[in-house]
A = this chain, B = another copy of it.
Amino acid sequence: MNLVDRAGTATYVETDEFAKKAIREAARWCNAVTVASSADKKFSYIPEVRAEDLPQNAAYLHITVNNTLFGTQYHRLPQLGVPLVGDLSSAMLGQLYDIEDFVLIYAGAQKNMGPAGVTVVVLRRDLLRDLPEEVPTMLDYKVQVAGRSMHNTPPCWGIYMTGLMLDWILREGGVEEMARRNNEKSGLLYEFLDNSTFYTPTARPQDRSNMNITFTLPDEALSDLFAKGAAARGLINLKGHRLVGGIRANVYNAMPIEGVRALLAYMKDFEMEHRMP
């Protein structure tokens, strides 16, 4: 609503359920065109956007930078001359990106930044413009900037907690250090998965997320058993999203490497017990 007129065109890359939601929402407002999709292979990879598939008049190209459900992540951003808009909800502060590559990014705080109920938006100031009157004032970024994000009473506690988290990240070594840790944690898991004949990683190697590691077991009944047994050891929330199945290990900033080591130990035990003879 802030970047494109009702008669305008916006382009989207379809990489998971959240990308789909963004596309559906944009389609209510403007001409929303899906220019690349990995739906053909269960969203297991980041699809390339080809310049010839981009409409001439696209106001922006929208990507979902980290795809929590399917465990994929952009490691190389599209550079096609069209302004890039990024949903960084689960990528922000957990992997290194160059803010200069985007004209606008937005991110729900609840993965790596703070409690649910806060959303961070960073945009290039020259994009601010007067919006049509059917756009609600609360969604008007020009108004929010003018009101220093306090046009309405802000969710003070969530902002305060996010501030404490940002302080902590800085003390720990900044986003560089967070990315290093997440790469280390996810790297241990991917290395194990790549050498396993029991577990199968689902995301294409060059597109793997450093925060959501997805894999399958020989069958879904075993996946259920795996998740239940893990929970009994205090390793929780490992069941893949109901739309995806399999197993998903989340190693956001808050997860210490000890959690990953405990998971690896459990994976070895589980395989010993359940491997077909």
Contacts and interface: CB of A to CB of B under 8 A. Distances in A.
Interface stretch (A8-16, A132-140, A177-185, A229-237): A132-140
A146 interface: no
A83 interface: no
Interface residues of A, number: 22
- As for how many copies of this chain the complex holds, the number is 2
B6 A136 contact: no
A25 interface: yes
Contact of A136 (B116, B136, B157): B136
B158 A155 contact: yes
Contact of A134 (B29, B137, B153, B158): B29
A197 B110 CA distance: 55
A154 B135 CA distance: 23
Closest 3 CB pairs of A and B: A117-B155, A28-B133, A116-B153
A1 interface: yes
Given A1-B136, A28-B133, A136-B139, 16 more contacts: A25-B136, A29-B133, A29-B134, A110-B153, A115-B155, A115-B157, A116-B155, A117-B117, A117-B154, A117-B156, A134-B134, A136-B136, A155-B155, A157-B157, A157-B158, A158-B158
Contacts of A108: 153
B134 A6 contact: yes
A157 B156 CA distance: 12
A137 B28 CA distance: 9
Contacts of A133: 28-29
A156 B158 CA distance: 10
A194 to B, nearest CB: 33
A143 to B, nearest CB: 11
Interface string A158-197: 1000000000000000000000000000000000000000
25 contacts: A25-B136, A25-B137, A28-B133, A28-B134, A28-B136, A29-B133, A29-B134, A110-B153, A115-B155, A115-B156, A115-B157, A116-B154, A116-B155, A116-B156, A116-B157, A117-B155, A117-B156, A117-B157, A117-B158, A134-B134, A136-B136, A155-B155, A155-B158, A157-B158, A158-B158
Nearest to A154: B116
A67 B180 CA distance: 53
Interface string A41-81: 00000000000000000000000000000000000000000
A191 to B, nearest CB: 32
A1 B156 CA distance: 27
A174 B48 CA distance: 59
Nearest to A24: B137
Nearest to A115: B157
